[in-house]
Amino acid sequence: MLAAFDIGNTNITVGVFDGEEVCATWRLATDIERLADEYAVTVLGLLATAGIPTAAIDEAVMASVVPDLVPVFEHLLERYFHVEPVVVGTGTRTGVRVLYDNPREVGADRIVDVVAATHLYGPPPLIIVDFGTATVFDAVSAEGDYLGGALAPGIGIASEALFERAAKLYRVELERPKSAIGKNTVAAIQSGTLFGYVGLIEGMVARFKKELGGTARVIATGGWAERLARETRVFDVVDENLTLTGLRLIHGMQRGRRD
């Protein structure tokens, strides 16, 4: 079995694959202060609850936008699973030509998403919207090249900034309000946050489509994808496991396989 780790600034997504099948997925809070042994307690416990023996994990792959956690998870995997993980980063063979001005500035997770989206939902052009700490828009040309994208604050950190900077506002559950015109503070915050992000998504996707020629398919992924997809028809596909699937595919490339 293959264990895949997508290490983000806010969450760490863990997936276990048996061949092409996803057996289980989990999301952990990212904490750069935690040690390998502390993360291991959590990961081993999750595997046990899913009935997956530790010995069944014989391969691993990871991508991280938090450099400090790469050696932590390498140590975890080597000590508790006796496997050396494939670490996706600059120089990793992915089959994607990166046309960014400086390819080293592109987060590994963005290219992982491109690999998965092209494999599963191609042919390109494609637009990928990844809802994480940042809301990330990525563009793939008709030739399959990574062109670049756009970065906006994620819905979570945007709402937190509002609560921290406005003395009279407070944290609310980001649920769908009854109407766009809020009749109280809770509804007003919910409307501005949820519907405001829908407007951001639709506007950015429209601009990307125009620049790509108008025919691009749009794929959403990340923690907020399902909820925001209920408010707009802009997405052709919602796939919360897109990054994990991309990691599986890239792992296969490094091991000489193409699943």
Residue 109 is a catalytic residue: yes
- The set of residues, in sequence order, having a beta carbon less than 8 Å from that of 126 and lying 6+ positions away, is 114, 117, 118, 139, 140, 216, 217, 218, 219
Question: 21, 61 in Cβ contact below 8 A?
Answer: no
- Helical axes 108-121 vs 242-254, angle rounded to 10°: 90
DSSP run (H or E) holding 60? strand 59-64
For 111, other C-beta atoms within 10 Å of its C-beta total 25
CA dist 113 → 25, 43, 72, 126, 144 (Å):
17, 24, 23, 11, 12
Start-to-end C-alpha separation, the chain: 14
Which tokens in the block code for residue 177? 């309000």
- The set of residues, in sequence order, having a beta carbon less than 8 Å from that of 125 and lying 6+ positions away, is 139, 140, 141, 142, 212, 213, 215, 216, 217
Q: Which of 109, 113, 130, 138 is catalytic?
A: 109
**Which residues are identified as catalytic?**
109
